[in-house]
Amino acid sequence: MIALALAFVALLPAPARLQVGADEFRYSLSRQSIVTGPAIVQLVNYGEDEHDLRLRRAGGTRTYVVGKVSPGGATELETRFLPGRFALWCSLADHRRRGMSATLLVRRP
């Protein structure tokens, strides 16, 4: 039974990984595109202020939230993305206007 479960897990696609580094006032993405499906988004705060991360697919209505991270901290969001172009931004204060925004392409395999 355990062997069966392990075999099943082995068949699941490995999640796409994206690291988003944040400082004042910009993001740096570890990659510009990822493959659709399961994904782990890690937000790492290299700055001196708190930052968070929101993602929304162009034409979509759902906003994915990676919560507020303190300076020197990191947090992860495990989710699934549909294919499309995603806008990324920091929702704190005026950070978005000051440059904390980016674009991510989620593409079909």
Residue 57 found at the interface with Cu ion (CB under 5 A): no
Residue 90 found at the interface with Cu ion (CB under 5 A): yes
30, 65, 82, 92: which one binds Cu ion (CB under 5 A): 92
34, 45, 95, 104: which one binds Cu ion (CB under 5 A): 95
Residue 51 found at the interface with Cu ion (CB under 5 A): yes
In one letter, which amino acid is 83? P
- Buried b or exposed e, range 45-68, using 16+ CB within 10 angstroms: bebeebbbbbbebeeeeeebebeb
Residue 105 found at the interface with Cu ion (CB under 5 A): no
Question: In the complex, what is the shortest distance from the CB of residue 11 to Cu ion, in angstroms, rounded to a whole number?
Answer: 39
Residue 20 found at the interface with Cu ion (CB under 5 A): no
Collect all residues with Cβ–Cβ distance below 8 Å to 45 and sequence separation of at least 6. Answer: 22, 23, 51, 69, 70, 71, 72, 73, 74
| Binding positions for Cu ion, rule: CB under 5 A | 51, 90, 92, 95, 100
